[in-house]
A and B are shown apart, each in its own frame.
Chain A
Amino acid sequence: MSYTPIQLLENWILRQASDAGQEWLDAQRQAVAQGDMKALYMGFGFAPRKVGKADLQLTERDLNDAAEAREGWMPHTWTIDQAARVLLLTSLPSEDDAAYFATIEKLFQTAEIREQICLYQALQLLPHQELFDDRLAEGIRTNIKSVFESIAHNNPLPMELMQEPAWNQMVLKALFIGAALDPIEGLDRRVNPELARMLIDFAHERRAAKRPIPVELWRVAAPFADEIALEDMRALYASGEQLEQSAIALALVSSASDEADVILKTHPEIAARAERGEITWRAIAEEAY
C-alpha cells in the first residue's frame, strides 16, 4: 500500500521520538492547524530540543516508500527534528495562498542555517510549490555550502521549478564551490547549450589559471562540446590523472560523435570500461569529493 509523505513522516517520528516529544509535536500541530502563528514560529525553533536531532533511521523500504509518495523525494539525509519541522509546516492552513506564502517566506527570512536547510528540503512536500521559484533562485546565492546543497542536492524542485538561467547558475555555482553535480536531480535531463557554453568557458579559465578542472564538468559540457572543448578533452584524456581520464571517457561515450570516437581510441582500454558500465558518474563524484 502507498502512503502520503505526511503519513511517512509521522511513522518515522513515532519510531524514534520520545513520548514527551511526540505529545509536544501533536499539541503544536493542532495549534498550528488552528492558525496559531506563535505556535508555528516557536515550535519551528524548539523542535530539536523537543524531539532531538538524530538522523532518521530509514530502511531501503522507507526510501522506496518516500519516492513513491513524492517523486524525487530522497530523505536519506534527513534528521528527526527536520521531519518534525516539516510536519508543523504541513499543519499550517494553506487555503489562502498569499497568506501561506507570506508565512513561509517569514520563516525563510529569519531562519538560521539548519532551519534554512530544512525549509529548502521541505518545500517539495508543501502546497503551492510553484510560488517558490524565486525563493529557490535566491537560495542558491548563499555562500554557505550546506544551504546551497539543500537546494541543489537530492531535491526535485530545481528540476521542476527553476527557470533556465537559475538552473544554469546552480550547476555552475556547484562546480565553483566544490559541490558535487551527481546528486542534482534531473542533471542530464536539463542540460542545455547555454549551460554547456558557460561550463566550457569555466574550464578554459581554470586551465589558464593552471588550476584543476572539476571532473564532473565534462558530463554536462560534452553533449554540446565545440572544437575547443574537444581539444581540451583530448589533451586531458591523453595526459590527465586517472579520474579525469575516466570522466572524459564516460562523457565521450555518451556523446557518440565521430570526434569523440577518435579521442576514445587513444585509450581504448579506458573507453571499453566506460562502455561496459564499469565507470559511473556516481563513483566519479564520490571519488572527487
Chain B
Amino acid sequence: MKFIDPHIHVTSRTTDDYEAMAAAGVAAIIEPAFWLGQPRTNVGSFQDYFSSLVGFEKFRAAQFGIRHYCTIGLNSKEANNEALAEQVMEIMPLFLAKENVVAVGEIGFDDMTALEEKYLRLQLEMAKEVNLPVLIHTPHRNKKQGTYRSMDIIEEHEIPPHLVVIDHNNEETCEEVLRRGYWAAFTIYPKTKMGNERMVEVVKKYGPERIIVDSSADWGVSDPLAVPKTGNLMLERGIPQEHVELTCYKNALAAYGQSGQFEESDWLDPEPIDQRTLFEGNSVLRGGQTPRVDDKQEDDRIIQ
C-alpha cells in the first residue's frame, strides 16, 4: 500500500528516515513551514528556511524516491514578534508560487494573542489571492477554543471549508471540525497529540470521510513512520482497506490536490531507486561514494 504523510518536518530528519519511509510505502510527503524550536531573530533565517523547503529538501527527498511538497507560512508563535512578522509577510510572495507549494500553512493560534490573529487573517487573505488551500495549526493549550475560533475567522474571510485542513485534532475537536465541512487531520505524535490506537477508534467512530492521518515528525521525539504504522494497525484492527487508503492517502491527495501542484502522476511512475541513474540528473552522493542500487547485495563491511 502507498502512503502520503501530509505533515512531516523532514528537514530535521536523517537520510535513514527517508530510506525507512520509502521502504514502508511513503510515496509523497508535505512539509509545512514551521518554527525551529527556538525563535528566529531575523528575516534572513526565514528566507533561507523557506528556500530549503522549496529547493534542497525537495531534491534530497527525491534521491530516496519520495516526492516532497511543502506549505509556506508564518507560524503562530513567531507571529508575536511584530517587526519580524512584517518582514516575513513581505517575502512570502517570493515563495507562495513555487512549484511544490501546496498550501499556505501551518498558520493559526498558539497563545491566541491579538498578533497571532492579525497574521492569521493576513495570511488567509494571501491564500485567497494565490488560490491555495490553507493548513491550520491548532494550539496545544486551550485547543477546543483555539480550533473553534480559527474556524470562525476562516468563515469571516469567506474561505470555503473544503479548501482548509484543520490539523492536530483530537477526540474533543474532530466532531465539530467535520460537522462544519473541513478536512480534519490528526497528528500521530508519541505521548502528546494522538496515539495510533486512539486513531483507529476515531476512524471506527467517524468513518474515513475527510479524515487525514499525519506524523508531524520533527526534531522532537517523534516517528517518521507514524502514517504507515497507523495504516497497518487500522488493517489489523479490522478497518476496511479502502478506509485506510482514504485516511492515509486519498484524502490528503484530494485536499492538497486543489492547489493544482499535488498530483498522483508525479509519483506513480517513479524513477527506479537506483542512484547510478540519478534522479533528474541530480545526486546527493559525494565523489567516490557508491550509488545505492536496491537489488544488489552488497558487502556492508566494505566502505569503498
Q: B64 to chain A: closest CB distance in Å? A: 15
Question: Which residues does chain A contribute within 8 Å of B58, judged by CB atoms?
Answer: 112-113
Known contacts A38-B93, A45-B94: does B287 contact A109 (CB below 8 Å)? no
Q: Could you say which of A49, A112, A115, A177 contacts B287, with CB atoms under 8 Å apart?
A: A177
Residue A75 CB within 8 A of the other chain: no
**B93 and A146 contacting across the interface, CB-CB below 8 Å:** no
**B47 and A49 contacting across the interface, CB-CB below 8 Å:** no
Residue B99 CB within 8 A of the other chain: yes
A211 to B51, CA, bound (A): 36
Residue A46 CB within 8 A of the other chain: yes
| Total chain B interface residues with beta-carbon distance under 8 A | 28
Residue B281 CB within 8 A of the other chain: yes
Residue A67 CB within 8 A of the other chain: no
**B130 and A42 contacting across the interface, CB-CB below 8 Å:** yes
Residue B278 CB within 8 A of the other chain: yes
Q: Could you say which of B54, B59, B93 contacts A42, with CB atoms under 8 Å apart?
A: B93
**B55 and A112 contacting across the interface, CB-CB below 8 Å:** yes
Residue among B50, B93, B130, B278 with the most chain A CB within 10 A?
B93
Q: Could you say which of A49, A110, A144 contacts B95, with CB atoms under 8 Å apart?
A: A110
**A110 and B51 contacting across the interface, CB-CB below 8 Å:** yes
**B97 and A46 contacting across the interface, CB-CB below 8 Å:** yes
Residue B98 CB within 8 A of the other chain: yes
Within 8 A of B (CB), among A104-119: 106-107, 109-116
A146 to B63, CA, bound (A): 14
Residue A149 CB within 8 A of the other chain: yes
Residue B260 CB within 8 A of the other chain: yes
**A110 and B100 contacting across the interface, CB-CB below 8 Å:** no
| Total chain A interface residues with beta-carbon distance under 8 A | 27
Q: Could you say which of B55, B91, B94, B284 contacts A113, with CB atoms under 8 Å apart?
A: B55
**A176 and B51 contacting across the interface, CB-CB below 8 Å:** no
Q: B131 to chain A: closest CB distance in Å? A: 10
Question: Which residues does chain A contribute within 8 Å of B45, judged by CB atoms?
Answer: none
Q: B15 to chain A: closest CB distance in Å? A: 14
**A42 and B50 contacting across the interface, CB-CB below 8 Å:** no
Q: In the complex, what residue of chain B is closest to A175 when comparing beta carbons? A: B287
**B93 and A112 contacting across the interface, CB-CB below 8 Å:** no
**B100 and A42 contacting across the interface, CB-CB below 8 Å:** no
Residue A283 CB within 8 A of the other chain: no
A146 to B97, CA, bound (A): 21
A225 to B50, CA, bound (A): 47
Residue A98 CB within 8 A of the other chain: no
A149 to B283, CA, bound (A): 13
Question: Which residues does chain A contribute within 8 Å of B95, judged by CB atoms?
Answer: 45, 110
**A109 and B47 contacting across the interface, CB-CB below 8 Å:** yes
4 residue pairs, one from A and one from B, having the closest CB atoms? A45-B97, A112-B54, A46-B97, A112-B55
- 7 residue pairs of the A-B complex, CB under 8 angstroms, read A42-B130, A45-B95, A49-B260, A109-B47, A112-B100, A113-B55, A146-B281
